């Protein structure tokens, strides 16, 4: 059983995505940094990236599956960049995230009711503006989503080697 470059990149994307969610959960539950709607939306994007990429590795023998998974991963990671950018430049300056796209999307999925410890919105965007090593959390998230976008693009353009 040999893994192609795309398969390895899909595994890296999944691991880094799950690590990001793990760090967010530690920040929330140990250090009491409560997430806003845009934070939770980014968690959902990281989880979706991990699930899609792991599914791609499991189904790697299906023709064109790797390219399809890479394309979906690129879209998800790109969406994560947009969400983090919006959070940093717009939502963090708002008094409330209520009725924004993120709030409606998170509530609409029902995941906040099924897994409230992971996907429940606990703060406003202004209240959740927190620094980690001198940079805001959403900037770290944007940087990771950018890296994952690059991984997905390389996987998409990779030959089967």
Q: H-helix or E-strand containing 49?
A: helix 37-58
Query: In terms of CATH architecture, what is 5-155?
Result: Up-down Bundle (1.20)
Q: Quote the CA–CA distance of 25 and 19 in Å, as a whole number.
A: 10
45-74: pLDDT as tens digits = 999 999 999 999 999 888 889 999 999 999
Domain ranges of the chain: 5-155
Model confidence over 88-99: pLDDT tens digits? 888 877 767 667
């Amino acid at each position: 059983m040999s893994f192609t470059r795309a398969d390895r990149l899909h595994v890296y994307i999944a691991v880094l995505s799950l690590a990001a969610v793990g760090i967010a959960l530690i920040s929330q539950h140990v250090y009491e940094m409560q997430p806003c709607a845009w934070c939770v939306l980014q968690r959902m994007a990281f989880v979706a990236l991990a699930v899609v990429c792991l599914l791609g590795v499991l189904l790697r023998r299906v023709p064109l599956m790797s390219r399809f998974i890479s394309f979906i991963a690129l879209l998800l990671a790109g969406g994560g960049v947009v969400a983090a950018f919006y959070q940093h430049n717009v939502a963090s300056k708002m008094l409330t995230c209520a009725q924004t796209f993120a709030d409606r999307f998170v509530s609409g999925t029902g995941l906040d009711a099924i897994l409230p410890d992971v996907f429940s919105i606990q703060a406003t965007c202004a209240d959740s503006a927190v620094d980690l090593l001198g940079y805001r959390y959403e900037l770290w998230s944007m940087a990771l989503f950018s890296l994952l976008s690059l991984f997905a693009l390389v996987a998409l353009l990779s030959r089967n080697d």
